[in-house]
Structure 1
Amino acid sequence: MYRRNLLAAALALPALARPALAQAVPLPVVASFSILGDMVRQLGGSRVAVRVLAGPDVDAHTFQPRPADAAAVRDAALVVRNGLGFEPWLDRMLRSAGRKGPVAVASTGIRPRAMADDGHGHGHGHAHGQDPHAWQDLANGRSYARTVAAALAAADPAGAGHYRDRASAYDARLAALDAWVRERIATVPEARRKVVTSHDAFGYFAAAYGVEFLAPQGISTESEPSAAQVGRLVRLLKQQNISALFLENMANPATLQRLAAEAGVTVQGRLYADALSPPDGPAPDYEAMFRHNVGLLVPAMAG
């Protein structure tokens, strides 16, 4: 009898142990827009299941959440947002969804860049005139990653070592990418480092890497440039022989195409600023976005 009971207990052990040995259900995480969604995936790997609200090629400035998004926000173990006034719609969603869990603000600890008002109301499309596009400086991107990794570890303490290891590897890649960007920009004479883009999303890039960006559309993709603004840019393009003229992936091309026609220059391509491309596009992740953008900017600036 004793032997039969011992055998039965031994046979039952694998079945009892199986749930403890099985991989945990992935941590449900909601990211406000595609760039943060990619960071969460890079840092979390198989331990996270990421839902992105404003996805690839979606303008996070004008994003309209759906009821299913509110449910995802309510039920997620962690919500990750940019902050700096980038997602005002998310404030309303968090309230309406009755969100009780943690919300990580990726830009925590970053000194925001002030958005100057040009006299036409641009520069105030975000909270207190702050420029929210801090990820356009890779040093800030590394800070974002540290903040997000810490939030993941707090939400999933059993995976803290996993997130720490992935964060270390990711940080090394971003540091190397930052050095590569600086090397590529340095090949362009300082006088030629001038670019015109659809809207003013590259202020942090400009400050970090020594490139001057001009935009007829101001900080928000919702704003429309005045005829006087377009006229000033046309004169500037002609006077300074600027050849780097770019669309952005989710901006209305009409204004920039008009500007190009009046200045007699060619639009050089499409940059990614506020959103990644779909997986089959040229900027499916944060690192690829920088490589794509710099790969277009350098030869265009050089003329």
Structure 2
Amino acid sequence: MGKRSTIYGALALLLGAAAPLGAEPIKVVTSFSVLEDFARHVGGDKIALSNLVAANGDTHMFQPSPMDGRLVAQADVLIVNGQGFEGWMERFVESTEFDGLLVEATRGVDLIDTEHGEHHDDKDEHHDGEDQHDDEHHDKDEHHADEHDDHHEDTHAKHSDEHQGLDEEHHDDHQEEGGHHHHGRYDPHAWHSVANAKLYVANIRDGLIAADPSNADYYRQNSQAYLAELDALERQLQQQVATLADDQRRVITSHDAFAYLGQAYQLDFTAPQGLSTESEASAETVAKIIRQIREQGIQAVFVENVSSPRLIEQIARETGAKVGGKLYSDALSAPAEGAGSYVEMMTHNISTIVQALD
């Protein structure tokens, strides 16, 4: 599948040359709800957007349907998280004979190495999302993207070769057992850092520009406006977390999805399950967490929207800790639940944590 995405530049040239005025929106498919929200903000009415794993859906356990296969087969652009998050994706896409543009949203992210506690900087030479980390660079967004266009074709062809097979080099130890998938070496839940979300947006912007260069200015303007919104969100979240004392920053959740949130906002997350909701919590791990809660006087534990609450509720009963609320980990909520967009999800999660632990 990696070879298919090497058509990035060629496809961009073809569509750019052939697209008439008033052309139909390009067909874009996202793998799960967070990416759907990012793509909607950047693509606006210039894209026809479909999504595979819906709100409150568990991407780890997802099984694509024949209708999903038809959506992907007809797509001009497919946007995925990568890093093994969608363990079923590579085989699924190969079965659809998708020949459009594959955008891996985690490109450029400083990944957390789950084996060694280190970081892996997944950047190529010409990645242009780096300037999104500082507010002062927002006014350079459009200019920087223009400069980047000159390198776009070579860069993404190079990236595709290096990351063939949905970033196989980052999860060579990824194995299929009984139909279930396991994450590889790097934690894929990178969107829980707003700084990383800006890189996701930059990658999606660049992908849409490559597939639909006639609307490049539109995608740049939309992304610039959304990046400013993310900057405001980051300031708000930092202010909220600053109200917690150092000994109030320990958080117990269902599965290990919040390492990037913890890193960004100085929170200490512990979970009985591993990176995937499919992983089983061992009795030893649960006992260790129970001891930790008692010894450290942790006041609250949290359930997740994609995980069964039973284990966390059991831990709460045995320790006397309260269930501090629901966190949204691997999916957005339905619109009426208050976490139906990325901004709402991040606001909800931090507010829920701070209110329960303060």
Per-residue Cα deviation, 1:128-172 (whole angstroms, up to 9, x for no partner): 321000001100000000010110111111111110000000111
Match of 2:60 in 1: 61
Matches within 5 A, 1:132-211: 132-211=188-267
Q: CA deviation at 1:73?
A: 0.7
SS at match of 1:70: helix
Q: TM-score, normalised by structure 1?
A: 0.88
Per-residue Cα deviation, 1:63-82 (whole angstroms, up to 9, x for no partner): 10001111111110100000
Match of 1:215 in 2: 271
Match of 1:109 in 2: 108
The amino acid of 1:188's aligned partner reads: L
Match of 1:290 in 2: 346
Q: In structure 2, how many angstroms separate the alpha carbons of the residues matched to 1:117 and 1:281?
A: 37
Match of 1:38 in 2: 37
Q: CA deviation at 1:262?
A: 0.6
The amino acid of 1:183's aligned partner reads: Q
Per-residue Cα deviation, 1:241-289 (whole angstroms, up to 9, x for no partner): 1123110001011111111111112211110011000122111011100
Is 1:47 the counterpart of 2:46 in the alignment? yes
Q: In structure 2, how many angstroms separate the alpha carbons of the residues matched to 1:271 and 1:92?
A: 30
Larger relative contact order (C-alpha < 8 A, sep ≥ 6)? 2
Kindly tell me the number of residue pairs found equivalent between the two proteins.
278
Match of 1:14 in 2: none
SS at match of 1:225: coil
Match of 1:75 in 2: 74
Match of 2:304 in 1: 248
Per-residue Cα deviation, 1:159-214 (whole angstroms, up to 9, x for no partner): 11110000000111111111111111111001110100010100011111100001
Q: In structure 2, how many angstroms separate the alpha carbons of the residues matched to 1:185 and 1:279?
A: 25
Per-residue Cα deviation, 1:5-50 (whole angstroms, up to 9, x for no partner): xxxxxxxxxxxxxxx76x4322210000000011000111111121
Contact 1:271 1:293 in 2 (8 A): yes
Q: In structure 2, how many angstroms separate the alpha carbons of the residues matched to 1:129 and 1:43?
A: 30
Q: In structure 2, how many angstroms separate the alpha carbons of the residues matched to 1:132 and 1:291?
A: 21
SS at match of 1:38: helix
Q: In structure 1, how many angstroms separate the alpha carbons of the residues matched to 2:208 and 2:62?
A: 25
The amino acid of 2:206's aligned partner reads: A
The amino acid of 1:146's aligned partner reads: A
Match of 1:267 in 2: 323
Contact 1:244 1:268 in 2 (8 A): yes
Q: In structure 2, how many angstroms separate the alpha carbons of the residues matched to 1:68 and 1:234?
A: 44
- Structure 2 counterpart of 1:236, from 271, 277, 292: 292
Match of 1:17 in 2: none
Structure with the greater alpha carbon radius of gyration? 1
Q: In structure 1, how many angstroms separate the alpha carbons of the residues matched to 2:331 and 2:352?
A: 17
Q: In structure 1, how many angstroms separate the alpha carbons of the residues matched to 2:279 and 2:184?
A: 17
% same residue: 40
Q: CA deviation at 1:127?
A: 4.4
| Unaligned 5+ runs, structure 1 | 1-19
SS at match of 1:245: strand
Q: In structure 2, how many angstroms separate the alpha carbons of the residues matched to 1:282 and 1:300?
A: 17
Q: In structure 2, how many angstroms separate the alpha carbons of the residues matched to 1:241 and 1:128?
A: 33
Inter-CA distance 152–58: structure 2 relative to 1 (3 Å threshold): same
Q: In structure 1, how many angstroms separate the alpha carbons of the residues matched to 2:305 and 2:184?
A: 26
Is 1:258 the counterpart of 2:314 in the alignment? yes
Contact 2:183 2:276 in 1 (8 A): no
Match of 2:177 in 1: none
Q: In structure 2, how many angstroms separate the alpha carbons of the residues matched to 1:50 and 1:126?
A: 28
SS at match of 1:289: helix
Per-residue Cα deviation, 1:95-131 (whole angstroms, up to 9, x for no partner): 111111110000011121012499xxxx976443210
Q: In structure 2, how many angstroms separate the alpha carbons of the residues matched to 1:50 and 1:56?
A: 15
Q: In structure 1, how many angstroms separate the alpha carbons of the residues matched to 2:275 and 2:101?
A: 29
Contact 1:84 1:132 in 2 (8 A): yes
Q: In structure 2, how many angstroms separate the alpha carbons of the residues matched to 1:70 and 1:234?
A: 44
Match of 1:87 in 2: 86
Q: TM-score, normalised by structure 2?
A: 0.75
Contact 2:183 2:275 in 1 (8 A): no
